[in-house]
């Protein structure tokens, strides 16, 4: 009670949540983890975050930062701990259109940032299904990826500066908008992807890009993933690397989506095994302005590439979105991925990264491996193919922890053989800690532990996550 009173003194009585108000903070998005936090504290400024952390450090109580709580690795689990929500720190502080940067507080919701910078004809080029609730601090802390990584990189690549409150309440000011700053170690990169285990991100400077003036979006059926890469590379050459999204959905994904959404349309008249959603974005007027015939040049580039590949037999069918509604329909199908996966109640989920030309090798290999270790088990996957990230899941008939571990290990074996990573974009949290113990280079783990000990000697920042 003394701690609660002290926290109320820092942030105000209404901003220390207890009892029934803890419900949204007591489980993760996928429902795989449930916990009871001590309370949720909602500071309104960096100064208040620092005061909370000083108080927690004196009390020796662990803190779990939380943004939108949309993470997919169980990284916000906080049994008996204090959760620190950034939701009140939700200001877009300053947009600087001339230098193409924006300063934000960590609690800004991704959708809100898109709207705020869109007014200036600019874009923060990162998007995924949770954009209506995930927050910038959470995205930085998981180094989130999503569908635009093929063109713009992940959240790390879009971050220029950070402000972080450390475990003892000190404020680390790394807030700059510099493209070059070789003044020693790049400390900000330590906190990006750290999942709240090293400090609390309170503000950031992010890169912006010109918002595309026009998009060409299509569903394309190809004979196999080798032809899909041919399509990607041809489009990159034809458009000057303007591919914004290149997403793979197998026939089984499309079928399941249609079963869950009886009103939805199939992408093609006949079903196909390999379906690609591609989007190209044009920022230059010469590519985006409709010509006298009303046709937008970027759409013509797409049509020309598709026609050429069709003649070569590398494209089987293609449908180009003719208007915003058709484009939205294509995106809605892709962004239903979490829902499609969740519709299988007992799953083994993976989030792997591979060199682009190894994705098909991995999937072919798993066609042989899976029936040997889990006869009859169905697999379903979706991939940000443009950056080599596959979400390969196996649906089990019933929960089976031992089998789940076997499948995970076999996936890891194949991934390792192909030079990939067991963790692409969702982070480690709790769900990938065993993979981390098995697969991460032991020296890398030692270095990580040294960094953790230096920044958080009492182990109060999101303990039990990331490091095995
Ligand atoms: C429908 C859906 C689709 C998704 N699609 C993608 C996708 O395509 N690509 C992708 O990369 N991810 C995807 N995700 C997961 C993604 O990681 C999260 O949605 C997002 O990045 C996390 O933001 P959040 O604010 O919800 O963070 P939270 O879930 O609240 O937190 C995530 C982690 O960050 C830490 N954290 C949060 N805020 C801070 C802070 N200010 N300082 C320090 N640590 C902090 C937490 O302690 C936790 O460890 C998806 C999730 C959903 C639900």
Report the alpha-carbon distance of residue 247 to residue 235 in Å, rounded: 14
- Per this entry, what is the length of the chain? 468
Burial 377-395 (b: 16+ CB within 10 A, else e): bebbbbbbbbbbbbbbbbb
**CA nearest 158: which of 188, 119, 128?**
188
135 lines ligand 1 (CB under 6 A): yes
Per the structure block, which two tokens stand in for 69? Answer: 């709580």
Task: Round to whole Å and give the CA distance between 249 and 226.
Answer: 14
Sign of the CA dihedral running 208, 214, 216, 217: positive
Q: Residue 138 Cα, ligand 1 centroid: separation in angstroms? A: 5
Q: Which residue has the tokens 């074996």?
A: 413
Mutation test residue for ligand 1: of 25, 131, 142, the one with most atoms within 8 Å of CB? 142
CB 421 within 8 A of CB 352: yes
Distance 10 CA to ligand 1 centre (A): 27
Which residues does the chain have with pLDDT short of 50? none
Task: Report how far residue 354's alpha carbon sits from residue 364's, in angstroms, rounded to the nearest whole number.
Answer: 14
Centroid of ligand 1 to alpha carbon of 426 (angstroms) = 7
b or e along 446-458 (b: 16 or more beta carbons within 10 Å of the residue's beta carbon)? Answer: eebeeebeebbee
Q: Are 271 and 263 in contact (CB under 8 A)?
A: no
Residue with tokens 């230059």: 284
Does residue 353's CB lie within 6 angstroms of at least one atom of ligand 1? no
Q: Is the CB of 131 under 6 A from ligand 1?
A: no
Q: What is the pLDDT of residue 1?
A: 85
Residue 312: count other Cβ atoms within 10 Å of its Cβ.
Answer: 10
Residues near 220 by Cβ (< 8 Å), separated by ≥ 6? Answer: 231, 275, 276, 277, 278, 306, 315, 317, 318
Burial 357-367 (b: 16+ CB within 10 A, else e): ebbbebbebbe
What is the pTM assigned to this prediction? 0.96
Q: pLDDT at position 357, please? A: 96
Which pLDDT score is estimated for 215? Answer: 97
Contact 43, 10 (CB under 8 A): yes
């Amino acid at each position: 009670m003394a701690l609660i009173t002290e926290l109320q003194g820092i942030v105000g009585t209404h901003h220390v949540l207890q009892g029934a108000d803890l419900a949204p903070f007591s489980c993760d998005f996928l429902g795989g983890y449930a916990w009871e936090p001590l309370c949720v504290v909602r500071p309104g400024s960096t100064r208040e975050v620092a005061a909370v952390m000083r108080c927690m450090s004196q009390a020796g109580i662990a803190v779990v930062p939380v943004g939108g709580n949309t993470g997919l690795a169980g990284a916000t689990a906080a049994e008996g701990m204090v959760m620190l929500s950034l939701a009140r720190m939700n200001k877009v502080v300053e947009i600087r259109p001339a230098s193409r940067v924006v300063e934000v507080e960590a609690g800004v919701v991704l959708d809100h940032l898109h709207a705020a910078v869109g007014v200036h004809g600019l874009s923060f080029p990162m998007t995924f299904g949770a954009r209506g609730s995930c927050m910038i601090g959470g995205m930085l802390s998981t180094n989130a990826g999503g569908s635009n990584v093929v063109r713009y990189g992940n959240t790390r690549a879009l971050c220029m500066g950070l402000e972080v409150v450390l475990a003892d309440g000190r404020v680390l000011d790394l807030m700059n908008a510099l493209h070059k700053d070789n003044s020693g170690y790049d400390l900000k990169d330590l906190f990006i992807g750290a999942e709240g285990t090293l400090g609390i991100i309170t503000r950031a400077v992010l890169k912006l890009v010109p918002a595309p003036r026009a998009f060409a979006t299509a569903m394309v059926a190809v004979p196999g993933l080798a032809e899909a890469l041919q399509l990607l590379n041809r489009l990159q050459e034809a458009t000057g690397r303007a591919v914004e999204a290149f997403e793979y959905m197998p026939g089984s994904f499309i079928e399941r989506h249609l079963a869950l959404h009886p009103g939805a349309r199939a992408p093609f008249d006949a079903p196909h095994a390999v379906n690609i959603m591609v989007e190209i974005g044009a920022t230059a007027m010469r590519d985006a302005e409709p010509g006298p015939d009303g046709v937008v040049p970027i759409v013509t580039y797409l049509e020309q590439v598709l026609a050429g590949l069709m003649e070569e037999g590398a494209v089987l069918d293609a449908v180009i979105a003719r208007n915003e509604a058709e484009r939205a329909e294509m995106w809605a199908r892709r962004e239903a991925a979490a829902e499609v996966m969740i519709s299988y109640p007992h799953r083994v989920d993976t989030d792997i990264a591979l060199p682009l030309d190894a994705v098909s090798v991995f999937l072919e290999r798993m066609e042989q491996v899976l029936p040997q270790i889990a006869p009859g088990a169905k697999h379903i996957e979706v991939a940000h193919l443009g950056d080599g990230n596959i979400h390969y899941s196996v649906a089990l008939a019933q929960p089976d922890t031992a089998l789940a571990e076997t499948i995970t290990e076999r996936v890891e074996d194949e991934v390792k053989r192909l030079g990939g990573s067991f963790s692409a974009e969702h982070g480690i949290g709790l769900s990938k800690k065993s993979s981390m113990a098995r697969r991460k280079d032991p020296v890398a783990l030692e270095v990580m532990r040294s960094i953790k000990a230096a920044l958080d000697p009492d182990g109060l920042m999101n303990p039990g996550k990331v490091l095995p």
